[in-house]
Structure 1
């Protein structure tokens, strides 16, 4: 319990110290991005071909957007139901670009950082493949030890 308290104190201290140096626009932008990553913002993501001057694809909904480290792949995850999601991965090239539009205004504080803590994400959701007997054998100490 002490470790959790220490960790929470460190997280709060880092957030407070980080807030001392940021301007209002950066804090608000971070909070809007956090809201979008929590599937709270209705967005339109459009892919545009610069050579043909045509829209190639449009995705609308409660979507989170992330670019790959190389910058050539865009990952779009959309919430389509209570516990239902769709993930799209789209390749980008020198003639294909994209833009993300927020379809509605988002309420965000420019004075307070938004922190989302989900304790259930600390414990992984484990999928087990195999027989029950194999699982029991794996966790039962071997009598020859």
Structure 2
């Protein structure tokens, strides 16, 4: 009986330990996302219309980007040592966005740039 209990504990521990394993790619993605959310990675966000192939909005800088429940983008940009700006972008079904890492870009340390078409 004691061996069965011990074997059950060992198997449970092994299964629990294996469930926490992840691939190297998952670890890197998690770490990069954390770095971006801590404003350590310079990014470029581009929103474009799929039907007209028109760029609607671009933003560059130290950005943290989240999506809300209805698919909109919540973008927080660091503009100084303790200064931030918040932008909300409503996404329509015919719009798409791309986020690119531009850490080696040419913007000043706290600079950010927004471009949009009217």
Does the TM-score normalized on the shorter chain lie above 0.5? Answer: yes
- Could you tell me which runs of 5 or more consecutive residues in structure 1 were left unpaired when the two chains were aligned: 1-16, 106-145
* CA–CA distance in structure 2, aligned partners of residues 19 and 63 of structure 1: 32
Aligned residues between the structures: 88
2:55 is matched with 55
Normalised TM-score (structure 2): 0.69
* CA–CA distance in structure 1, aligned partners of residues 18 and 75 of structure 2: 29
- Larger deviation, residues 48-57 vs 30-39: 48-57
How big is the alpha-carbon RMSD for the aligned residues of Structure 1 and Structure 2? 1.8
* CA–CA distance in structure 2, aligned partners of residues 91 and 21 of structure 1: 36
- Could you tell me which runs of 5 or more consecutive residues in structure 2 were left unpaired when the two chains were aligned: 1-16, 105-118
1:98 is matched with 97
Normalised TM-score (structure 1): 0.57
Equivalences for residues 18-33 of structure 1 within 5 A: 20-33=20-33
1:35 is matched with 35
Return the offset for 1:75. Answer: 0.2
| Structure 1 runs (4+) greater than 3 angstroms displaced | 17-20
